[in-house]
Amino acid sequence: MKPELIKEVLEQSRKRGLTLLAPDSTTGELTARLLGSKANQTLLEEIKTEADRFVQTPDPELTYSLFRVYGDTGERLTYERVYFERRKRLNAFVIMTLLEPDNAEYQAAAFNTIWSICNEFTWCLPAHFNAGAAKLDIDLFAAETGFALSEILLLLGDRIPDLLRKRIEGEVEHRLLRPFLEEGPYGWETADHNWAAVCAGSIGAAAIYLIEDDARLSEVLKRVLDALECYLTGFGDDGACAEGYLYWQYGFGYYVYFAQLLKAATNGGINLFASNKVKEIALFQQKCFTDGNTVVNFSDSPSESGIFMGLSCCLHGEYDEVAVPDASLRAGYSADHCGRWAPAIRNLICLKEEWIESVHDKPKWPAESYYLPDVQWLLSRHITEDGGSYSFAAKGGHNEEPHNHNDAGHFIVHADGQAYLADLGSGMYTAQYFGPDRYTLWCNGSQGHSVPIIEGLYQQNGASFLATVKEAYSSERYDQLVLELSSAYGHPKLEQLERRFRFVKEGLPILTLTDTILFAESSGEPAERFVTERFITFMAPELASEGRILIKGKRQLSIFYDYKVWEPIVTSRSDIDHFGRERFWYTLDFHAAATAGRPLAAPFIFQFDS
């Protein structure tokens, strides 16, 4: 969209003030609405508890020593824990200042925290900071910080002293707006993943709040809109987020926050929601939960996630088809370890009480199946007559996706929110995690996924190492996905690796997995080839009898196999999770020998006994 056209829309219909963010006429009316909302009461109590805890402790300092930890060791959490605590303090103090305007202690804490954040050496994380760079860095968190401070100016209004107001405006101008206009373009402006949405959306939001001149604002918005178009190219028409649900909630969330501000600021003149692709992306959330808070956690996604009810209500307001999830699935206030302002305040302000309900002792998600062709995911939820909730998900794809794992052909099996066959999700983010050794880590390489190992060879990294979908079918009775995976390995003698899933949804569900593995014959080379079928689980597998292994959780899963073909081996493993904690899990390996020139095809049957 050309700057001239944007400027024309702004000159004709630009709106300012609180109505950009909330339907209320004044902050007093907003405060009264929030305090009077029954749906918000638990969340308000959580915020007050956090603010009261923080107000008893001094603001933690981001020291030089902390800043150097990443550069010296590649470890991120030491600095980031302090950085994110400062953002959490900001959120809690400001929200309580909004809710209790006569509380001098909250107000002083809010103003001191704002001042302290304005004093930070950089708003970027050390992992994203480039010392000596020709232009000022703008990363995800720098952009988010500018968005937050700009919106706080709007909400607290004249209560913010003039000196502090000028300080905020000056820092956002110096750290975001001026470098964005004068030193860009930035690499994330052409990214097709969350960076484009978060950075551009946050800068656009700050610009809407702070830039008075329509011509200058138009220049910012033109670049922001271009970046958001690049972000959308990372999605296919099916709306699936290949980065995983966490990054849908994050990246697409910031797309939505900006889109709503832009729509309000232009009185509907620029409406990013008038797009079928955006609508399909909005529908992704209700497709990727297996039960309760449990997620289909392919890629760098956690296994569980609370729902941002504010974001869900925003999207339901735009599209009737978007479901507002059950109230019991709401993310707790402290669930976001990064302390992001934008979702935190919208979980309060955007919540629509009339859309919120809770269905006790019933499945929180309906029985549905989806095949998402652009990411090659099959997702299936099955509800039995007694209310049992069973889920199966499998993926094709390629091995150079955003936040990639080498996992073409991987699958998970859940029951009542428990993972019987699991995805490890994301590990601890370090320099190694995003460096050349990424796929030596269990959670990223195919060795940590439920996919075959071919003569000791794992899947390779790169877009050419991929799955080819031969069949994808979904019906009320069963779902089926057939993939050819030989290209994912780069093994010169592997002619065929067909993986066939069939998930039968009658009564207690049964998943049949059949891999057909064929090696080419070659003179002068051994005819016998060794393969391993690997499955990942957090529950200790038990050998019940020859040909049957049990995985016991709240329910019991039997794995049937041909014991004359496969030799099972269970190995206890551990690695470090996203939050720096050691986690324990198991590889369940089945070893077999294949003869070159003859297909090996011996099925595995996964059957719930309860």
Tens of pLDDT, residue by residue over 307-341, are 999 999 999 999 999 999 999 999 999 999 999 99
363: in domain: no
Q: What is the pLDDT at residue 527?
A: 85
Task: Write down which residue in 353, 381, 408 finishes a domain.
Answer: 353
Q: What is the pLDDT at residue 359?
A: 78
Total domains present in the chain: 2
10 Å CB burial of residue 511 (0-12, 13-18, 19+) is buried
Same domain, 139 and 268: yes
Same domain, 73 and 206: yes
Q: What is the pLDDT of residues 193-250, one digit of tens each?
A: 999 999 999 999 999 999 999 999 999 999 999 999 999 999 999 999 999 999 999 9
10 Å CB burial of residue 64 (0-12, 13-18, 19+) is exposed
Q: What is the pLDDT at residue 360?
A: 74
364: in domain: no
Task: Write down which residue in 353, 380, 413 finishes a domain.
Answer: 353
Same domain, 325 and 411: no
Name the packing angle between helices 341-349 and 27-36 (round to 10°): 70
In which residue are the tokens 């930035």 written? 186
In which residue are the tokens 């709106």 written? 15
Residues 6+ apart with CB under 8 A from 178: none
Q: How far is CA 577 from CA 267, 295, 449, in A?
A: 45, 16, 15
Q: How far is CA 4 from CA 102, 184, 216, 218, 606, in A?
A: 45, 20, 11, 7, 61
Q: What is the pLDDT at residue 134?
A: 81
Question: Which tokens hold the place of 179?
Answer: 């470098």
Compute how many other C-beta atoms are within 10 angstroms of the C-beta atom of residue 371. Answer: 18
Same domain, 451 and 396: yes
Give the span between the Cα atoms of 581 and 427, in whole angstroms.
9
Q: Pairing state of beta strands 604-608 and 510-519? A: antiparallel
Question: Which tokens hold the place of 183?
Answer: 């030193």
> Nearest CA to 325 among 340, 305, 342?
305
Segments of the chain scoring below 70 in pLDDT: none
Q: How far is CA 98 from CA 120, 157, 181, 266, 512, in A?
A: 24, 10, 33, 26, 56
576: in domain: yes
Q: What is the pLDDT at residue 362?
A: 78
Task: State the DSSP code for 307.
Answer: B
Question: Which tokens hold the place of 477?
Answer: 């009775």
Same domain, 167 and 297: yes
470: in domain: yes
DSSP letters, 449-487, are: SSSEEETTBPPPPEEEEE-EEEEEEE-SSEEEEEEE-GG
Name the packing angle between helices 140-156 and 77-99 (round to 10°): 10
Same domain, 70 and 205: yes
Q: How far is CA 565 from CA 457, 530, 550, in A?
A: 20, 12, 18
User: Is residue 111 within a helix (H) or strand (E), and if so which, with residue range?
Assistant: helix 104-118
Question: Which tokens hold the place of 369?
Answer: 């199946």
What pTM was computed for the model? 0.96
> Nearest CA to 267 among 227, 208, 203, 350?
208
Task: State the DSSP code for 198.
Answer: I
Same domain, 250 and 151: yes
* Residue 507, SS3 per DSSP: coil
360: in domain: no
Same domain, 458 and 504: yes
Mapped to the 3 state alphabet, what secondary structure does 32-95 carry? Answer: HHHHHCHHHHHHHHHHHHHHHHHCCCCCCCCCHHHHHHHHHHCECHHHHHHHHHHHHHHHHHHH
Preceding omega of 161 cis (within 30 degrees of 0): no
Same domain, 387 and 303: no
Domain holding 225: CATH number? 1.50.10.100
Task: Write down which residue in 353, 378, 400 finishes a domain.
Answer: 353
Same domain, 185 and 284: yes
Question: Which tokens hold the place of 354?
Answer: 């009339």
Q: Is the dihedral of CA 494, 479, 319, 145 positive or negative?
A: negative
Q: What is the pLDDT at residue 146?
A: 98
361: in domain: no
130: in domain: yes
Same domain, 325 and 457: no
Domain holding 379: CATH number? 2.70.98.70
Same domain, 325 and 391: no
Task: Give me the domain span that covers residue 33.
Answer: 3-353
382: in domain: yes
